[in-house]
Amino acid sequence: MIELDGVCHDIGSTRILSDISAEIPRGHLTALIGPNGAGKSTLLRLIGRLESVQRGRIEIDGLDVAQTPSATLARRMAVLGQQTAISSRLRLSELVGFGRWPHHHGRPRDIDRAAVETALQVFGLSPLADRFLDEVSGGQAQRAYLAMTFAQDTDWLLLDEPLNNLDMSHARGLMARLSDLVRRAGKSVLVVVHEVNYAAAWADHIVAMKQGRIVAEGAPRDVLKDGTLSMLYDTPVAVTQHEGRPLVLHHY
Amino acid sequence: MAEMAAPFAPARRGAAGIVAPLAALLLVSSALWLFQGLGEGNRGFILALRAIKLGGMMTVAAAVGVSTILFQTVAGNRVLTPSIMGFDSLYALLQTAMVASLGAAGFAGIASLPKFLAEVGIMCLLATVLFGTLLGRGSRDIGRTILTGIIFGVMFRSARDLLSRLIDPNEFAVVQAATVVNFARTDASLLPLAATLCAICVALAMVMAPRLDVLALGRDGAINLGLRFRRLVIATLGLVAVLVSVSTALVGPMSLFGPAAFFGLIVAGIAHGLARSYRHAVLLPVAALIAANILVLGQMIFERILGQQTAMGVVIEFAGGLFFLFLLLKGRIR
């Protein structure tokens, strides 16, 4: 479980998060939704200790992220931020190989190589394993980063807009894979999603944020309602049902 | 499938493939340097002189090659070098300030060992203060750090220019002699110390090599994988500071006045092009070997073929630059 207690965060003089207290349950696929600038990415980055906590307390499975050694956390959670360019020239297999670093610290064993191969296979990258990162498309690169995160083999996966650059089939494939990790491998996933319908279709738990605060949380059918979403995004939204899951109509 | 089962294998093969020929080339060029045209008389004297120069070149080569790669990894940028960050201007400012305050005679009167140690100490201290304050506040904003470094570099240069206009012309000549790279100036009494310091830094960098590979993924990637990012960045920049200070204090700044301003850049570019690996365990020795080869061969051409008629930097730039362009155009450097 991730526990947030009174978390505030400022960048310069701008308040990004105000007094966030929440619990993100273990063994669930949790989607973090909300409009641009709601503070979703910041919250995810704080949990993933990519930013240091300014005020409040964040614990992941009882470990305080500000106190626990980073190397210990790297075996508990894998966090994938939005991509920035890498200066090294890496092959996809090498990038994915880095996901195993927390387990071998520079001395890969057979088990690490096998995990890399599996991750490449899972994300359909085996044929591209020897290609350089700057020689593949944005979507393929995104899948390589996801494969690296997957190879890290942690209890928690924190993903910031992983659907960026992915086409329909890979986006659906990724959500199905995440859902499968939760249900079959007992992992916990926290994912920032922009397209609410992916949250509606796959998430077990939804946290909705606006202007640095949590405005709603709970099961998809409780959070994804006309009123809540219209208020959240400041635009009229209709919610209907499709095969027992909410379907959000917001595009016309 | 066999390739994929061992994703680290191709890099390793490439590594052995490039280090050995580079080392062999360096052996040959060093032997040539030592024994070519030795003549009959005074062999021992000439050999000793040449050996000292060779030692100076090796030390400087290792320092420039390794420090540039380290710096580029921290900066996440392949175009930056420590000299762009004002390291060399700082050294020149230091020399000018010393001459201005002590006078030419006083400057010449300082014993070489204390002077060397003081220079290395001050350079390291200033570099640590500079990087420490910059990285302490916004450690994630490498871009701003570097921009500030460049501005400091310009400031050091301007301060030095101002000082050199104020001092008397004879003193200025002393400054100029002290701030142009000159392997003939290599001081035999300082060489063992400088070489040892340099070797320790290179060894430390090699120990850190796997972590540097991770560091090259950038801040987020490195933190995610459990690296103590800030500590590693500061340690790496500390090594860069010591390496640059030692080599600069030993022979003068590689890049200030001569056209050798891009020596580090050329070395790092060629190293990336030839090593074809992201692994620092390969990149660092390759860069050091390339720098040593360029320096020894360049110095040989400069001294023995061109008869010291031109600046050493011209030779380095000409040959190194052409090779750099060749690799660039062949798409082996990106």
**pLDDT above 70 (res B2):** no
Judged by average pLDDT, the poorest of A157-166, B40-49, B197-206 is: B40-49
From chain B, the residues in CB contact with A48 under 8 A are: 223-224
User: In angstroms, rounded to a whole number, what is the distance separating the alpha carbons of residues A129 and A117?
Assistant: 9
Q: What is the mean pLDDT of residues A119-130?
A: 93
User: In angstroms, rounded to a whole number, what is the distance separating the alpha carbons of residues B17 and B15?
Assistant: 5
CB contact under 8 Å between B211 and A106, yes or no, is: yes
What pLDDT does B110 receive? 81
Which of residues 157 through 196 in chain A touch B, CB cutoff 8 A? none
Q: What is the mean pLDDT of residues A214-240?
A: 92
CB contact under 8 Å between A48 and B72, yes or no, is: no
Q: What is the mean pLDDT of residues B6-22?
A: 61
What pLDDT does B241 receive? 85
User: In angstroms, rounded to a whole number, what is the distance separating the alpha carbons of residues B38 and B150?
Assistant: 45
Distance from CA of B111 to the nearest CA of A (A): 44
CB contact under 8 Å between A113 and B7, yes or no, is: yes
CB contact under 8 Å between B226 and A108, yes or no, is: no
Minimal-distance CA residue of chain A relative to B276:
A89
CB contact under 8 Å between B8 and A94, yes or no, is: yes
Query: Of the candidates B8, B217, B221, which has its C-beta nearest A108's C-beta?
Result: B8
Query: Of the candidates A70, A73, A81, which has its C-beta nearest B220's C-beta?
Result: A81
CB contact under 8 Å between B4 and A89, yes or no, is: no
Q: Where residue A28 falls among pLDDT bands split at 50, 70, 90?
A: very high
Query: Of the candidates A72, A87, A99, which has its C-beta nearest B78's C-beta?
Result: A87
From chain A, the residues in CB contact with B221 under 8 A are: 86, 98
**pLDDT above 60 (res B139):** no
How confident is the model over B266-290, as pLDDT tens digits? 889 889 888 888 899 999 999 999 9
From chain B, the residues in CB contact with A93 under 8 A are: 4, 7
What pLDDT does B322 receive? 81
The mean pLDDT value of chain B amounts to 80
CB contact under 8 Å between A105 and B210, yes or no, is: yes
Burial class (CB in 10 A: 0-12, 13-18, 19+), B214: buried
**pLDDT above 70 (res B187):** yes
Tokens of B253: 């700044």
CB contact under 8 Å between A129 and B10, yes or no, is: no
Give exposure, A230-245, as e/b (b: 16+ Cβ within 10 Å): eebbeeebebeeeeee
Higher model confidence: residue A192 or residue B125?
A: A192
From chain B, the residues in CB contact with A72 under 8 A are: 226
Domain ranges (residues) in chain B: 42-329
Q: What is the pTM of this model?
A: 0.88
Q: Where residue B253 falls among pLDDT bands split at 50, 70, 90?
A: low
What pLDDT does B258 receive? 41
Q: Where residue B310 falls among pLDDT bands split at 50, 70, 90?
A: low
Does B231 reach chain A within 8 Å, measured CB to CB? no
Judged by average pLDDT, the poorest of A33-47, A122-136, B151-165 is: B151-165
Q: What is the mean pLDDT of residues A189-202?
A: 93
Three-state SS string over chain B comes to: CHHHHCCCHHHHHHHHHHHHHHHHHHHHHHHHHHHCCCCCCCHHHHHHHHHHHHHHHHHHHHHHHHHHHHHHHHHCCCCCCHHHHCHHHHHHHHHHHHHHHHHHHHHHHCCHHHHHHHHHHHHHHHHHHHHHHHHHHCCCCHHHHHHHHHHHHHHHHHHHHHHHHHCCHHHHHHHHHHCCCCHHHCCCCCHHHHHHHHHHHHHHHHHHHHHHHHHCCCHHHHHHCCCCHHHHHHHHHHHHHHHHHHHHHHHCCCCCCCCHHHHHHHHHHHHHHHHCCCCHHHHHHHHHHHHHHHHHHHHHHHHHHCCCCCCHHHHHHHHHHHHHHHHHHCCCCC
**pLDDT above 90 (res A223):** yes
**pLDDT above 80 (res B157):** yes
Minimal-distance CA residue of chain B relative to A77:
B224
State which fold the B42-329 domain adopts. Answer: ABC transporter involved in vitamin B12 uptake, BtuC (1.10.3470)
Counting one residue from chain A and one from chain B, the pairs whose CB atoms sit within 8 A come to: 101
β strands within A96-201, DSSP E? 156-160, 188-192
Which of A41, A80, A87, A109 has the highest number of chain B CBs within 10 A, making it the mutation to test binding with B? A87
What pLDDT does B108 receive? 78
What pLDDT does B184 receive? 67
Give the domains, in start order, of chain A with CATH numbers.
Answer: 2-76+155-249 (3.40.50.300), 85-153 (no CATH)
Minimal-distance CA residue of chain A relative to B278:
A88
Q: Where residue B131 falls among pLDDT bands split at 50, 70, 90?
A: low
User: 3-state DSSP call for residue A154?
Assistant: coil
At position B3, the amino acid (one-letter code) is E
The percent of residues above 90 in pLDDT, for chain B, comes to: 23
Which of B215, B225, B233, B327 has the highest number of chain A CBs within 10 A, making it the mutation to test binding with A? B225
